Structure 1
């Protein structure tokens, strides 16, 4: 299939492009490289069609329409909670208006399906008795970032209802892996991995018993490709491991991967931090014929090895 990947030079996008090419798909990447890099792609820009542009530009819409893509995977956007709170206008401009520009291009050019990168932040702080979180959980985002993602999910549904544009929205757990920056929802691993790779100290905010659901970027990419072909579209799926890992357990595994004991420093908990987080992935397993494959210890080993080589 002919696939456009917005944000394809970024962290998750670079994993996805590799899998798309390996599966024989034709990939085009749209990225303004404000946070990504063309060097994230295998062989750089020579691997696939690469468009360096802002998704909000009107000429980008025209170019997409001329491209006649089968699928658009929409990964581009503002992904930092703190930035969304400091600058809600910028967050909305990228995540809502940028997406509308992409959706308009899709509906006017016969795109069969849009795959959208949503987030576990859509759920907000869910009580522990509701874990693991299912897709039916009430949406209560605690940041403008989460709010814009929820808003785009509603845009996708209405575009389907009004124009017949198929979609799948994927709410990611905490994603980690090679080529990750110190941003986004899985950024704690890349922050720790860079410091551990350099032999530096790491700091944990809180007692380290808080849990997260860490999923390897390659498994996310496989889930996206599964969403491209599923017969059960026009809905939302969680992509996760459905496994809680505490920060203390994470640090122990990272120390083993680095071949040394890591003794973290501790600081006061940060306001607004969630104590426990884990997503239910049963719907994705059943309807996308998908399973996360990467063992956390192996994924962390790959991630630390990558950062050691940087």
Structure 2
């Protein structure tokens, strides 16, 4: 039996990860977030091997929940890329200090492995040429990216000093079931939701911004391959491996759902890197071809979920 702990488990990635991990009945999965009411999506599955706990997940956290855990997933973040430059020192304190305390506690409690979901979209910045490999210099233009790269460096340090094993997943832009369609994160999910409701879709800039979108099921499958695999690398890019413009996303939604979209273009945002997509050859070298769902397939699956849950 493996004891698995997910911190920040009630969000989009945590929910999908928890559902997949709980499939293996021989493992014990403990889910922690600030408010147990946010676990309604997990609770309806009635998993016998899942325990839900509420905790502050801030600088006052005592980390006693780490006792007896083998693998710890760190999904805790207090901010999102688009607003992270508004409260830089506050967010660095909340996220970097928490992470340092967490890794310290992992050493203390003998945790075997820490898995950190970093950001393939923000750690590299805007100067580098795409596709971006793991060796690309990291020069973020958002505080969010700075925090992620600092947490990555802390993991390297705790491994160097104490032998704490870790995996870093620099994740692109995941979308799909259980992502809240509220427009804060996740262009594909938000646009699909607004398309289904016949609502106006707001696009920053002219739609030429290019991103790497990965359906959540593909992302979770790859994350688990990385976590359970053994090789010399501990940091992996994870996306679909090619770029798609926002304009092409909108066209794909129109095509997949056979709907006419109501799109409004507004001023671009300074935090948006013009082009960002990832080189996933390191992942594919060790774990085989990713073969992700096409964007249209992913949109159809996402729309099916949204109709069932929200409409």
**TM-score (norm: length of structure 2):** 0.90
What is the 5 A alignment of 1:50-129? 50-56=52-58, 58=60, 60-65=62-67, 68-120=68-120, 121-127=122-128
| Closer, same or farther: CA 58–203 of 1 in aligned 2, 3 Å | closer
Q: Aligned residue for 2:188?
A: 189
Structure 1 unpaired stretches of 5+: none
Question: Is 1:295 the equivalent of 2:297?
Answer: no
Q: Aligned residue for 2:241?
A: 242
CA distance in 1, matches of 2:24, 2:45: 19
Q: Aligned residue for 2:12?
A: 11
The Cα of 1:144 is off from its aligned counterpart by 1.3
1:100 aligned counterpart, secondary structure = helix
The Cα of 1:10 is off from its aligned counterpart by 0.7
Contact 2:195–2:259 (8 Å) recurs in 1: no
2:29 aligned counterpart, secondary structure = strand
Which stretch has the larger CA shift, 170-179 or 216-225? 216-225
CA distance in 1, matches of 2:183, 2:54: 22
CA distance in 2, matches of 1:234, 1:261: 45
| Closer, same or farther: CA 42–305 of 1 in aligned 2, 3 Å | farther
Contact 1:193–1:254 (8 Å) recurs in 2: yes
Once the two structures are superposed, what CA deviation does each residue of 1:9-59 show, in whole Å capped at 9, x if it has no partner? Answer: 11011111111112343211111149x920232526765111111222555
**TM-score (norm: length of structure 1):** 0.90
Q: CA RMSD in A?
A: 2.3
Contact 2:80–2:185 (8 Å) recurs in 1: no
CA distance in 2, matches of 1:178, 1:269: 28
1:202 aligned counterpart, secondary structure = strand
The Cα of 1:258 is off from its aligned counterpart by 2.7
Q: Aligned residue for 2:41?
A: 40
Aligned residue pairs: how many? 305
